[in-house]
Chains A and B, each alone.
Chain A
Amino acid sequence: MNATRHLLSVADLGPEGISEVLHVAEAFAEVERRSVPKVPTLRGKVVATLFFEESTRTRLSFETAAKRLSADVLSLAVASSSVKKGESLRDTVETVEAMGIDAIIIRHSSAGAPHQVARWVERAHVINAGDGWHEHPTQALLDCFTVRQVLAERKGSAPDELGIACFEDLRVLIVGDVRHSRVARSEVLAYTALGAHVTLAAPGSLLPPSLEGWPVEVATDLDAALADADVVSLLRLQAERGSGSFVPSLREYTAGWGLTARRAERLAEHAIVTHPGPMVRGVEIASDVADLPRTVVTQQVANGIAVRMAILFLLLGGELTGTAEVPAVA
């Protein structure tokens, strides 16, 4: 993210950029534990969320992050906006920017929409909050953050002391609907940039049509792959994107690719299970497994705020130069 103005893809960051985001997020996680979890860092800045797709957690997370940094938050509700009157995305974005917005956080069903928006804006920063099947960079970053946090906790050290070395040779298994998953694409970029080994496990119809150029392996036997994994990232079967028809039935999917209680017994004792949410209990993850301590879904959600604070701070306030100093907090 050196000299990066926007966060469109995890690839914008590189290992140093990711390391810096994790470092700054660590400081903001500390802020969050205070009785008044708010800092004046982005006072006077205005952040707009433009969500052209339904979302609760990501939008709330970004808005909470911005508010904890004292930024003003505008939230464009697409359903009741000029978009419904036929206004183009470009005009919407240019209108929003003309109001003096400093950052546009966008989610859109079309892959690449944030890239297009980044070409249209003159000075605003653009943050990709999920574009089609393409990427969801902040989700991957908060996943890495959470994994490091758990590893540090077990070691009894501070996460920052682990740096990014703790990802070296970590075995990450991504299970489920990779084909339609923006989380999977961002996770592959993030984990492999940090030196982890990534394996994908999914029925053939839910894998991308081509994995040419992807630094990953593909497991055809989930049970065998589970035993080797340090981190298991479960993906939701995105029935609303039509992926329901990519498998014969939810029952058959769960039988072959769900993390059932029996299958979870194969996991190594130290294995961590992540899920970007919303979870569909009983489909990709059994309810009992979802509630195990190794399943860190609520930690992920909590960490999402600190990671998004870090992104907002680095793009709007500080500079992503590898030496960012978190502002002293009163």
Chain B
Amino acid sequence: MPEPSLVIRGGTVVGPAGLTRGDVAIAGTGIVAVAESIDPPSGAQVLEAAGCLVGPGLVDLHTHLRQPGREEAETIETGARAAALGGFTAIVAMPNTEPPIDAAGVAAEVLALGVGCTAEVAVAGAITVGRAGRALAPLAELAGLGVTLFTDDGDGVQDGALMRRALDYAKGLGVTLAQHCEDNCLSAGGAMHEGSWSSRLGIPGIPAAAEETMVARDIALSRLTGGPVHFLHMSTAGSVDLIRRAKAEGLPVTAEAAPHHMLLTHALVAGYDPVFKVNPPLRADEDVAAVIAGLCDGTIDAVATDHAPHAPESKDRPFNEAPPGMLGLQTALPIAWQVLSPHLGPERIFALLSVQPAAIAKLTATDPRRAGHSAQGGPVEVGATANLCVFDPAATTMVDPTGLASRSRNTPYAGRTFAGAVRHTVLRGEAVVIDATAQR
């Protein structure tokens, strides 16, 4: 065994089959020992993890990094730091930047800027040129850079024939198309969930049907083409039900849900604070319950943050005019833990936040086209890359917007406290977060 450079001591290892008390020794970028008790050699760095869970580093399928174009809201570096503090060792950058990631040059720039950050940065490419929904983006060329997920996120591909063509064209590229499900005709002008609260508050609503009609359409297109479809930020009971039935049918579909859709409801909009404006919008109690049920029964494969930074001046506007979106990277695991731990064991929660999203984004193995990227999503065992998230279920996470690593402050959880806290994050053997403090 090579001499360990880092030892995580006293924790419980989260493996696919369950929990094992064990210290973890790391040499260089890899795990070299997992054992009941490991004596750290002198000179090795030691991370105390008594009472903590040592799981695979988290993988976020849905991060808005705002670079290029909106660097006042977030940069790749600050977003990656927020990710590391949230226990993430890999994030997928969404393509709705300015310019969008619809060409190899932009994708290459984002990938290059991500190298050396405190979390690995993969990119999702746009399905259509300019995310405008009219012509296919160069999917094959982007796939050649190691892009495995494509989406026009921020908008859905409105034209069903174009989406069908994209699914046909993508065959053989080894990529997955991901849809932001929103029928723009049904959602036009909407600023919150359409229902009892929107009616009372006089805010134009976005009906659940705006999401569900596109979920239903793309399930039909997956059936038609055989192409895999990943459904982004599922927020309604109807959507969860559609995905459940599509999976029962054996269609190649996957789905994610955001922490805010597991916890918050449209009632929060009553004070007209745009920090609660997000798209898809915060929904009703029964939708929140359905999202949680979908996460518990395997209908929804991943928790994904939809981390969407906005500079204060853009968010501090009249509700109808403010852009949608909320921060999520630094609160995702504590919220998932609080909501899901009454129903699911730690290995299932880490599956939803690490193993399964890594598989959906095809980040579980190294890829020569993605320089500097390691295998993500575990398992925590000898021979694996040391991408780890050390989580303390007994600690608490108190959300102070000014203390977040993001450049923006638009967290809907200001002042709230969640059970559990990310204590350490290890990226390729480097402790990038120690005791909830970023090391660089």
Contacts and interface: CB of A to CB of B under 8 A. Distances in A.
A121 B199 CA distance: 27
A113 interface: yes
Nearest to B318: A110
29 contacts: A88-B313, A88-B316, A89-B317, A110-B318, A110-B319, A110-B320, A111-B201, A111-B202, A111-B203, A112-B202, A112-B318, A113-B272, A113-B319, A132-B202, A133-B203, A133-B204, A134-B201, A209-B195, A209-B198, A209-B199, A209-B205, A209-B207, A210-B194, A210-B195, A210-B196, A212-B195, A212-B196, A212-B199, A214-B200
A182 B202 contact: yes
Interface of A: 88-90, 108-113, 115-116, 131-135, 182, 185, 208-214, 242
Nearest to B313: A88
Contacts of A112: 201-203, 272, 318-319
A92 B321 CA distance: 16
Contacts of B194: 209-210
Contacts of A115: 271-272
A52 to B, nearest CB: 9
Nearest to A132: B202
A108 B318 CA distance: 9
Given A209-B195, A210-B196, A116 B202 contact: no
Contacts of A90: 316-317
A133 B271 contact: no
Contact of B203 (A88, A108, A132): A132
Contacts of A212: 195-196, 199
Nearest to A108: B318
Contacts, number: 71
Nearest to B192: A111
Contacts of B318: 89, 108-110, 112-113, 116
**In the complex, which of the residues A90, A116, A212 has the most CB atoms of chain B within 10 Å of its own CB atom?**
A116
A212 B196 CA distance: 5
B199 A208 contact: yes
Nearest to B319: A112
Given A112-B202, A113-B272, 7 more contacts: A89-B317, A111-B320, A182-B202, A210-B194, A210-B196, A212-B196, A213-B200
Interface string B183-217: 00000010000111011111111010000000000
A96 to B, nearest CB: 16
Contacts of A113: 272, 318-319
B211 to A, nearest CB: 15
Contacts of A185: 200, 202
A213 B197 CA distance: 9
A242 B196 CA distance: 21
A257 B204 CA distance: 23
Contact of A134 (B202, B271, B316, B317): B202
Interface string B37-59: 00000000000000000000000
Contacts of B201: 111-112, 134
B338 to A, nearest CB: 28
Nearest to A184: B202
Interface in B387-404: none
Contacts of A116: 272-273, 318-319
Contact of A132 (B195, B316, B317, B320): B320
The 4 A-B residue pairs with the shortest CB-CB distance in the complex, in nearest-first order: A112-B272, A134-B202, A110-B318, A133-B202
Given A90-B316, A111-B320, A134 B198 contact: no
Given A88-B313, A209-B194, A209-B207, A111 B319 contact: yes
Nearest to A207: B199
Contacts of A111: 201-203, 272, 319-320
B205 to A, nearest CB: 6
B298 to A, nearest CB: 32
Contacts of A208: 199-200
A252 to B, nearest CB: 22
Contacts of A214: 199-200
A9 to B, nearest CB: 10
